[in-house]
Amino acid sequence: MIGGGQIGGTLALLITQKALGDVVLVDRPELEGPMRGKALDLMALRPHGGHDVAIRGSGDYAAIGGADLVIVTAGLPRKPGMDREDLLDTNLRIVRQVAQQVRQHAPDAFVILTTNPLDAMVYAFHHYSGLPPQRLAGMAGALDSGRFRSFIAMETGLSVADVSALVIGGHGPSMIPLTRTATVGGIPLADLLTAEQIRSIVARTREAGTEIVQLLGNGSAFYSPAAAAVEMAEACLRDRKRVIPAAALCRGEYGVDGLFLGVPCVIGSGGVERVIEFQLTPEERALFDATTERVRATVAALRL
Ligand code: APR
């Protein structure tokens, strides 16, 4: 884990509890003490679940040497009143440094990044690290789809385990929660909820991160982002060929070339093994074009 704050710490906890692998929590050199403290705390948690993995903390990027997987959460989170785009310049400097260090110490890793503004930060990470694009994915679609699924379960009163729903596009208000393909137990959403209920779920999904930022008052969501990143990590480490939306480099898919954008991906040991393309309706296409333009504008504002 690079970044051992709210998301990084939760990631280390979830990965330990799933015994997915040994963990190194890396943060800025001045935070080596707190990282070692968190690691020691997690080491002491292991006997309660019998998880035979090792957790270390460090202030030195070299500690990630030889990692199979790197999850980057380094960067500032939002405060109330901020857009994700407001973090652009500060987080770009951080991502630049981290990308160079990952290239040096773990060039063969699959990298999952959560730093916002997500789609532009993955683009920048790719630019600075030179990693093959299939070894790099931004975590956003998994989280946004999870929020969408959670709201559907809340509104229908049905089990979240039976909700299947997908969000594509950029990680921000222009994201596209796809209502047409959403189902509960195989039944189309439109047969379970009214158009008004569905409209309100879509709106809440788009602003779910902001709703949490406003409520927390200091920082942004971390439990669900960590859980979503772990789902992607597990898909890679266990070569599961999961279909998970993620910010992947589009090279012609959906008519987009050269941008990282939320699209359905097959995630396995090869990283992002494939982007799955499917037919959008004209209405979905228009929304996709709008979200692409939004991400393109943010990427254009990067001072790389
Ligand atoms: N190298 C390593 N770690 C760094 C660096 C760096 N150059 N710069 C900052 N960090 C660390 C911070 O010290 C902090 O511990 O990144 C951590 C970020 O943790 P939090 O501030 O708790 O933020 P978190 O909620 O985890 O979110 C991290 O993910 O969802 C996004 O918008 C969010 O950009 C933010 C990121």
| Domain range list for the chain | 6-140, 141-302
Q: Which atom of ligand 1 is nearest to the CA of 220?
A: 25
Instruction: Find the 26 Cα to ligand 1 centroid distance in Å.
Output: 11
Structure tokens that stand for 110 in this block = 């699959």
Decide: 292 and 299 in contact? Cβ < 8 Å: no
Q: How far is CA 298 from CA 84, 117, 146, 260, 264, in A?
A: 10, 8, 24, 11, 21
Catalytic pick from 51, 105, 126, 171?
Answer: 171
Nearest CA to ligand 1 atom 15: 5
Torsion-angle region of residue 108: left (phi > 0), alpha (psi -120 to 50) or beta? alpha
- State how far the Cα of 162 lies from the Cα of 272, in Å rounded to an integer: 25
Q: How far is CA 174 from CA 205, 229, 290, in A?
A: 11, 21, 7
> What are the percentages of helix, strand and coil residues in the chain, rounded to 5?
50, 20, 30
Which tens digit of pLDDT belongs to each residue from 14-39?
Answer: 999 999 999 999 999 999 999 999 99
pTM above 0.95, yes or no: yes
Instruction: Find the 91 Cα to ligand 1 centroid distance in Å.
Output: 9
Which tens digit of pLDDT belongs to each residue from 112-163?
Answer: 999 999 999 999 999 999 999 999 999 999 999 999 999 999 999 999 999 9
- State how far the Cα of 29 lies from the Cα of 117, in Å rounded to an integer: 24
Is the CB of 27 inside a 6 Å radius of any atom of ligand 1? yes
Q: Which atom of ligand 1 is nearest to the CA of 4?
A: 15
Is the CB of 232 inside a 6 Å radius of any atom of ligand 1? no
Q: What average pLDDT does this structure show over 85-98?
A: 96
The residue whose CB lies within 8 Å of the most ligand 1 atoms, and thus the one to mutate among 1, 76, 171, is 76
Decide: 302 and 92 in contact? Cβ < 8 Å: yes
Which tens digit of pLDDT belongs to each residue from 64-82?
Answer: 999 999 999 999 999 999 9
Residue 166's pLDDT band (cuts 50, 70, 90): very high
User: Residue holding tokens 């950029």?
Assistant: 170
DSSP 244: E
The SS3 call for residue 24 is: strand
Which tens digit of pLDDT belongs to each residue from 203-225?
Answer: 999 999 999 999 999 999 999 99
Residue 51: active-site member: no
Q: What average pLDDT does this structure show over 225-254?
A: 98
Sign of the dihedral defined by the CA atoms of residues 59, 221, 156, 172, in that order: negative
Is the CB of 222 inside a 6 Å radius of any atom of ligand 1? yes
Helix (H) or strand (E) holding 180: strand 176-184
Structure tokens that stand for 161 in this block = 């385990």
Strand partners, 24: 56
Q: How far is CA 146 from CA 53, 115, 126, 222, 303, in A?
A: 28, 18, 26, 13, 32
289 contacts: CB under 8 Å, gap ≥ 6: none
The SS3 call for residue 212 is: helix
- State how far the Cα of 262 lies from the Cα of 150, in Å rounded to an integer: 19
Classify domain 141-302 by CATH architecture: Alpha-Beta Complex (3.90)
Strand partners, 265: 244, 275
Instruction: Find the 3 Cα to ligand 1 centroid distance in Å.
Output: 5
CATH number attached to the domain at 6-140: 3.40.50.720
Instruction: Find the 7 Cα to ligand 1 centroid distance in Å.
Output: 8
Query: Which residue, 298, 223, 231, is CA-closest to 267?
Result: 231
Instruction: Find the 196 Cα to ligand 1 centroid distance in Å.
Output: 37
- Supply the Cα-derived Rg of the chain in whole angstroms: 19
Q: Which atom of ligand 1 is nearest to the CA of 101?
A: 1
Burial 128-140 (b: 16+ CB within 10 A, else e): bbebeebbbbbbb
Strand partners, 177: 167
